Amino acid sequence: MSWQGIVLLGMAGGLLPDVVRVVRERYDAAVPAFLRNPKFYISLVLGVLLGGFAAWLLQAGSAKDAVIYGFAAPELLTRLASTAAPGAEGTVLRGETPSAAKRRASLLDWWSK
């Protein structure tokens, strides 16, 4: 398999964590509002790119490995960020408005699902 195919499959794997979260929470009333948040799409693009990079960096030997590496890289980082981020419990960080703290907490809550 070419490195381009590995990267594309890794990118598809990087997309999967957020797709799984959307499908799992599809009946939650907060999901449509959350999907209008630009930070969600920024994190989605970063996850897809990270998935492709992980599959390339770890030199996935098969399509299945590329998807798994692509899924695992952003999933691991978002889980770590959701539990270890300072102020993840909704506290306001220095220089941050309460509304910004709420948006940050909502993104971290989304990642922790």
In tens digits, what is the pLDDT along the chain, a chain of 113 residues? 888 999 999 999 999 988 888 888 778 777 777 778 788 888 889 989 999 999 999 999 999 999 999 999 887 877 776 555 444 445 545 555 666 656 555 655 555 55
Secondary structure of 1-60 as H, E, C letters = CCHHHHHHHHHHHHHHHHHHHHHHCCCCCHHHHHCCCHHHHHHHHHHHHHHHHHHHHCCC
Q: Return the closest-CA partner of residue 51 out of 34, 75, 30, 26.
A: 75
Q: How far apart are CA 78 and CA 10, in angstroms?
A: 16
Confirm whether pTM is higher than 0.75. Answer: no
Can you give the residue range of the structural domain that contains 82? Answer: 3-112
pLDDT number for residue 42: 87
- DSSP letter at 86 equals T
Give the total number of structural domains in the chain. Answer: 1
